[in-house]
Structure formats: structure tokens, C-alpha cells
Amino acid sequence: MTDTLTRARLVPELVVAELGRSLRFWVDLIGFRIAYDRPENRFAYLDLDGAQVMLYQYDPAARHWLTGPMDRPLGRGINLQIEVAAVEPILDRLDAAGWPLFMAVEDAWYRAGEIEVGQRQFLVQDPDGYLLRLGAKRGERPVGAS
């Protein structure tokens, strides 16, 4: 590891078609950093302020834990929610790169018991179709307040 990394207790490992292309998206556009990698295995462990993901390039000759064919978009049925300090810098980088959003930015409030938790959020797909929901906290309010 390049420095001390506290590993999250749940870290998704995403099988990708081309690691270099995925790293350009995850690192350059979204803002993750490479915590460590194994280039010889086409593997990278990424971190963004405690949000972590592993990327592993598909190799038909290697051992993979796949439950079905690798048809795009990958990760159907799941979105990876990533909490960030602010969505605007990420939106600016995506816009400058001409990267399309899956869902435009919005302010959303979700009930959590007796309160609502707010976040400014948007959705974007990575090069393989994995869906990311990036959100920045907007605060809390009583249920039903607007």
C-alpha cells in the first residue's frame, strides 16, 4: 500500500473490460485515488475518503467468480452510492470530458426513521455500465418538512 489505508468492511470488486479506461473514469473524473495496484494482474484498489472499490480487468484465461455472461451494461440491478464532499467538482470534470449523466443532479430527501436525510445527487455510468450515485449531504429535517 502506498500509505496507511483503513479498509472498508464491504468493498465491491468490479470486473471491467479495460482497466486503463476504467481508471481514467474513476480516478481522473470521479476523483478516487489508487490506494494500491497490481499491474501484472490488471488490478487496482481505489479509495475516495473511505469509499472504496476494487477494479479487476476481465481475462477469460484467469479465474473469475462470475455467475453469468459479461454482457453490458454490467452491474444491472445495483447502483453504488458514494458520499462525496461536493458533487459540483465531479460534475464539472464529467462535463469537461463530455461524459453523459444517467440522471441529472437533484436535491433528494429520504426518510430515515423520524427524520429525512437530504443529499444533492446525480447518477453516472462508468465505461462498463456500472451505475454510480454520487451524493453530498444536505442535512436533516423532520419528516414532512419541506
Residuewise pLDDT in 10s, the chain (146 residues): 446 899 999 999 999 999 999 999 999 999 999 999 999 999 999 999 999 999 999 988 887 788 788 888 988 889 999 999 999 999 999 999 999 999 999 999 999 999 999 999 999 999 999 999 999 999 999 998 87
Q: How far is CA 49 from CA 7, 32, 53, 97, 142, in A?
A: 11, 8, 12, 23, 28
Q: What is the pLDDT of residue 1?
A: 45
Q: Contact 120/106 with Cβ under 8 angstroms? A: yes
Q: What is the pLDDT of residue 63?
A: 78
Q: What is the pLDDT of residue 71?
A: 87
Q: What is the pLDDT of residue 3?
A: 62
Q: Which fold has domain 13-60+72-142?
A: 2,3-Dihydroxybiphenyl 1,2-Dioxygenase; domain 1 (3.10.180)
Amino acid of residue 39 = P
Spans of all domains in the chain: 13-60+72-142
Give burial (CB, 10 Å; 0-12/13-18/19+) of 133: middle
